[in-house]
Amino acid sequence: MHDAHHWKHPLPAAPKPETTQSEVNFSVQKYQDNSLAEFQENAEGRPHEECGVFGIYAPGVEVARRAFFGIFALQHRGQESAGIAVTDGTDIQLHRAMGLVTQVFDEDILANLPGHISVAHTRYSTTGSSKACNAQPILTQSSEGLMALAHNGNLVNAVLLRAEMEEAGIQFETTMDTEIIAKTIESLNDRPLEDALLETMARIHGAYSLVMMTHDTLIAMRDPNGVRPLCLGRLSNSEDGEAAGYVVASETCALNVVGAEYVREIEPGEIVFINNEKIESVFYKGLVEHREDRPALCIFEFIYLARPDSQIMGRNIHQARRTMGEKLAQQDPVEADVVIGVPDSGTPAAIGYAAGSGIPYQEGLIKNRYIQRTFIQPDQTQRELGVRLKLTPLRDVLEGKRVVVVEDSIVRGTTTKRIVQMIRDAGATEVHLRISSPPYKWPCFYGIDTAARKDLIAYQRSIEEIRQYNGADSLAYISMDNLINAVGQPKNLFCRACFDGEYPITIPHDVKFTKLVLGEDGNGNGNGSAPVSPDDPGPESSDVVVQEDAVPTPVTV
């Protein structure tokens, strides 16, 4: 059923407390979650990555502090909530709250999270609404006792599994598919943990990169298609260079900030166990009737989601995006005076387009980088201004110029239309749009929060119709072949479903699936009806607004 191999890298023994009684110190804070930043992200209509995960095993190190900086480096993957769980070998302590990483944690909180193993999480919700109870990590029982779990991805059979569990009398406390994973593990606690995790992989279908910990072991687990990224890093002892610990994270940018050296990616279908004895890898070799038997990394990681200083599949993200721009310049040239990018993810492609075309690159749009979550809500006038709250055009760069504007993607099209008009208002004589991804035609079911298919502008619209809608003088998207060439890996290693509708993991046609599919109507249907399949998009999930208590309320269990 599976293979295993062992790495010969023994780690320092963890300190063992005298007590053996397992205790949990658990705190949750609720913050008001309807904010200016949230409004802006929704108004943009951009795809959103759902989560960033981080885990560390490092005896003698302040792991909570390292975990803090790890998820701080992954903040771009989720700005809704954050949490850190730690263990000292006996106790598990967990602190999580709504808000940015720097809002959730301070020196006092970190000082009260002692231990040598930690898992941490930063979240943007896809399945499960925006509530404090849905913050992660979450706790569950296993054959090894209490364990903490953090998840990046989305299960496509979540409704079916939850219905089966509820029928069996299992109760749920959240609306997340992550709890379904946790309850599945808990239901198998009569088996050795390794076997329970392999059986869990057989039961759950979809995308998941997981970091987990028991009282003595850090665990990383990636779905058999490897849709979401997950990598392994090594902390070295400064005296002799021997391993002082290991780190797992969604992206390599989180390794650098904690002083870890990149080792490799966690392979699709791999479970890694790290403790004071060894590192052991176990691979799932189960049936594949519900999915294609191949790697299927989300190609949007290269286009938009991953941080530009990260590395995936041996390719630097910034360089890949720059190459996309170069390919696009060769594919669809235009006579112009200046090339600008839509910051931040459009900037590398714009630099590449300028290099490939010989047209000078300049910064033409300035991004307000200090807009964060706030209790001050935008009024109606600010909502109508929309993108102008976040981007400011440089008139001196744009006035009287023929401008090439490079953007990473167009999803709904509303933001792009406003950007084009804003550049014209700044005096540009022509605006030529160049998009460093193919037309976005299909919704994601694997962990990216995108619009329903009926709201995707490239669905049932030609490129010329999209150009007319956004008001540009010309519009061109990079071809799939040029995108694949820029990434530098074979096409069949990626999930490209948002562009071609070829889903590597089967989407059940009888599953009603929106952001709030596991919502609160008691039937797992969220608020209102949901899409039956990619061709039946259902209502737009962003119509639902959930507010939390304005005053932080600590809860201790």
Cis peptide before 137 (omega within 30 of 0): yes
Give the whole-angstrom CA distance, residue 317 versus residue 311.
6
Contact criterion met (CB below 8 Å) for 351 and 372: no
- The residues assigned a catalytic role are 51
Q: Token pair for residue 409?
A: 């993607």
Q: What angle do CA 307, 505, 221 make, to 5 degrees?
A: 55
CB 357 within 8 A of CB 339: yes
Distance CA 56, CA 212 (A): 10
**Region for 359 from its dihedrals, namely left if φ exceeds 0, alpha if ψ lies in -120 to 50, beta otherwise:** beta
CA–CA dist 183, 416 (Å, integer): 42
Q: Report the alpha-carbon distance of residue 544 to residue 233 in Å, rounded.
A: 39
Residues facing residue 176 across a β-bridge? none
Tracing tokens 């490239």 back to the chain, one arrives at 458
Residues 260 and 55: beta-carbon distance below 8 Å = no
Asked if 125 contacts 48 with a C-beta cutoff of 8 angstroms, the reply is no
CA-based radius of gyration for the chain:
23
Range list of H helices, 101-248? 101-104, 107-111, 158-167, 177-187, 193-203
